[in-house]
């Protein structure tokens, strides 16, 4: 029997948590802002079906930062899936970010959709890369599930977002990814983090969506690094089993602002 209601997915990104909950990123408490975002997620009705966390979950690669994230997510009792960003440490993530409602799976099916999570980390680099092995694995997953509409997630943006400084630290050699995606019509959506802002683009019938951070926001369309005064947020998606979807970005009422004069971090 086909589903009559969509799968509700929340994308959370770039939480940048520290071992010390009192530490701040550019003058903003990342722990407090995440708590405010999660309070907003709790209020969504009907309750979301799953959470996708698209990297930079820690700022300091510490075990305590991942433990804090786990302890904040588990009470929601919403299945959560994650992937790493350039600030993360995957071995610790795999040890700690696993719990009754937190999975380490990088491919799964839900609500008539296929989900594939990619690791775009490049060791010691801010920019991202997808290894040949990752691209081969992606192709295998797409071959094995040719009918279900597919959502792919990674940390680094595979397309330019219009800010020169950010476009230099996105995904390197995105044409290798596009070469795979272009062969599979079931791919409908690509989600990413890293950009700390809302972003939408369409390429070859696939929609590419960037997500706000749960803490500090980057100002769009800038030549150099610049902080925005937009509030923390998340992306909400409604995925229908036929491949249709709707999406919106939600901002939360978190009053403290980061250092708007910052030129980097």
What CATH architecture applies to the domain 7-251? 4-Layer Sandwich (3.60)
Tell me what pLDDT residue 1 has: 40
Tell me what pLDDT residue 150 has: 99
Q: Tell me: cis bond preceding 227? Omega within 30 of 0 counts.
A: no
Q: How confident is the model over 24-41, as pLDDT tens digits?
A: 999 999 999 999 999 999
Tell me what pLDDT residue 254 has: 95
Q: How confident is the model over 192-202, as pLDDT tens digits?
A: 999 999 999 99
Q: In the numeric block, which tokens belong to residue 72?
A: 């904040």
Query: Where residue 2 falls among pLDDT bands split at 50, 70, 90?
Result: very low
Angle at which helices 174-181 and 132-144 cross, to 10°: 20
Do β-strands 150-154 and 113-117 pair in parallel, antiparallel, or remain unpaired?
A: parallel
Q: How confident is the model over 85-139, as pLDDT tens digits?
A: 999 999 999 999 999 999 999 999 999 999 999 999 999 999 999 999 999 999 9
Q: In the numeric block, which tokens belong to residue 222?
A: 């800038």
Query: Where residue 234 falls among pLDDT bands split at 50, 70, 90?
Result: very high
Q: How confident is the model over 173-230, as pLDDT tens digits?
A: 999 999 999 999 999 999 999 999 999 999 999 999 999 999 999 999 999 999 999 9
Query: Where residue 22 falls among pLDDT bands split at 50, 70, 90?
Result: very high
Query: Where residue 265 falls among pLDDT bands split at 50, 70, 90?
Result: confident
Query: Where residue 4 falls among pLDDT bands split at 50, 70, 90?
Result: low
Q: How confident is the model over 131-164, as pLDDT tens digits?
A: 999 999 999 999 999 999 999 999 999 999 999 9
Do residues 36 and 250 touch, judged by C-beta distance below 8 A? no
């Amino acid at each position: 029997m086909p589903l009559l209601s969509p799968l509700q997915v929340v994308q959370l990104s770039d939480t940048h948590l520290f071992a010390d909950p009192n530490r701040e990123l550019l003058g903003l408490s990342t722990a407090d802002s995440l708590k405010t975002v999660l309070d907003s997620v709790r209020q969504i009705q009907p309750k979301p079906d799953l959470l996708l966390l698209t990297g930079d979950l820690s700022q300091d690669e510490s075990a305590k930062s991942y433990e804090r994230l786990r302890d904040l997510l588990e009470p929601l009792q919403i299945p959560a899936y994650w992937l790493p960003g350039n600030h993360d440490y995957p071995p610790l993530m795999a040890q700690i970010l696993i719990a009754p409602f937190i999975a380490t799976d990088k491919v799964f099916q839900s609500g008539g959709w296929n989900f594939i999570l990619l690791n775009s980390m490049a060791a010691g680099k801010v920019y991202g890369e997808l290894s040949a092995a990752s691209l081969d694995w992606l192709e295998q997953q797409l071959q094995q599930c040719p009918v279900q509409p597919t959502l792919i997630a990674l940390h680094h943006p595979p397309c330019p977002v219009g800010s020169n400084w950010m476009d230099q630290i996105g995904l390197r050699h995105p044409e290798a990814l596009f070469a795979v995606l272009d062969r599979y019509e079931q791919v409908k959506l690509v989600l990413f983090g890293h950009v700390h802002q809302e972003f939408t683009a369409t390429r070859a019938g696939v929609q590419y969506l960037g997500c706000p951070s749960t803490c500090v926001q980057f100002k769009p369309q800038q030549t150099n690094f610049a902080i925005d005064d937009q509030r923390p947020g998340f992306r909400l998606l409604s995925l229908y089993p036929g491949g249709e979807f709707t999406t919106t970005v939600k901002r939360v009422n978190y009053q403290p602002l980061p250092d708007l004069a910052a030129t980097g971090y």
